[in-house]
């Protein structure tokens, strides 16, 4: 591996100044890179549960998951914000889910010009069937960690989320109308 990526000097030992120089970056130690890679792999692992059996892609699942955790109607804009997914991607997912009669539009009682989304009975049934499968898959992914490590990992993720100003509980999301 080239020195610029390994952070190792000619002796094969870690060059402690490699990260201080600013001219090199070990991507495999760079937290944003690692989190992004981890998120992509976990998302891909979970998508196997809903792609093969239910024919859902990742954006479609994100729409259902957001509607399912809220238990009430919300806007496509809210879903895009929650999931950090581009609004055009969410729009295509909503259209596909509406075609399959898993999601429907309802008038926003507060603003008649705006429509909100909610799951249909068929969408709720699919969601309820899928949740136990996803929870089992989550447990498989985390099985490399001890029970204490899983708790510590959750705490550390929470600290990072909090430092970035991200909502951390369903109650907080409902109260603020944001994710």
CATH code of residue 65: 1.10.10.10
What's the distance, Cα to Cα, between the start and end of the chain in Å?
41
Give the separation between CA 82 and CA 63, rounded to whole angstroms.
10
Does any domain span residue 156? no
Please, what is the average pLDDT of the chain? 85
Does any domain span residue 176? no
**Helix (H/G/I), strand (E/B), else coil: 81:** helix
What is the percent of the chain where pLDDT is above 90? 63
Does any domain span residue 56? yes
Does any domain span residue 60? yes
Range of the domain at 66: 30-144
Residue with more model confidence, 71 or 141: 141
Does any domain span residue 86? yes
**Helix (H/G/I), strand (E/B), else coil: 104:** strand
Does any domain span residue 4? no
Asked if residue 4 lies in contact with residue 24, where contact means CB atoms within 8 angstroms, the answer is yes
Does any domain span residue 123? yes
Give the separation between CA 52 and CA 46, rounded to whole angstroms.
11
pLDDT band at 13, cuts 50/70/90? Answer: very low
Tokens of 162: 């909090």
Does any domain span residue 170? no
Per the structure, the count of domains in the chain is 1
For 80-133, the pLDDT digits (tens) are 988 889 999 999 999 999 999 999 999 877 777 788 999 999 999 999 999 999
pLDDT band at 176, cuts 50/70/90? Answer: low
**In the predicted model, what is the mean pLDDT of residues 127-156?**
95
Contacts 24+ apart (CB under 8 A), 95-98: 96/57, 96/60, 97/60, 97/63, 97/64, 97/123
Residue with more model confidence, 169 or 129: 129
Tokens of 118: 């909610």
Residue with more model confidence, 76 or 111: 76
Give the separation between CA 75 and CA 107, rounded to whole angstroms.
10
Other beta carbons within 10 Å of 66:
22
pLDDT band at 173, cuts 50/70/90? Answer: low
pTM of the model as a whole: 0.77
């Amino acid at each position: 591996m080239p020195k610029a990526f390994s952070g190792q000097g000619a002796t094969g030992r870690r060059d402690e100044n490699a990260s201080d120089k600013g001219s090199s970056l070990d991507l495999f130690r760079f937290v944003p890179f690692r989190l992004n890679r981890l998120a992509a792999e976990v998302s891909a692992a979970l998508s196997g549960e809903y792609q093969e059996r239910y024919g859902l892609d990742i954006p479609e699942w994100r729409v259902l998951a957001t509607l399912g955790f809220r238990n009430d109607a919300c806007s496509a804009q809210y879903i895009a914000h929650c999931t950090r997914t581009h609004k055009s991607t969410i729009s295509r997912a909503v259209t596909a889910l509406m075609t399959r009669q898993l999601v429907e539009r309802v008038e926003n009682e507060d603003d008649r010009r705006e429509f909100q989304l909610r799951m249909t009975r068929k969408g709720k049934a699919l969601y309820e069937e899928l949740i136990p499968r996803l929870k089992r898959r989550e447990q498989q992914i985390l099985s490399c960690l001890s029970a204490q490590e899983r708790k510590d990992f959750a705490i550390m993720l929470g600290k990072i989320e909090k430092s970035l100003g991200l909502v951390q509980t369903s109650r907080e999301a409902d109260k603020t109308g944001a994710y």
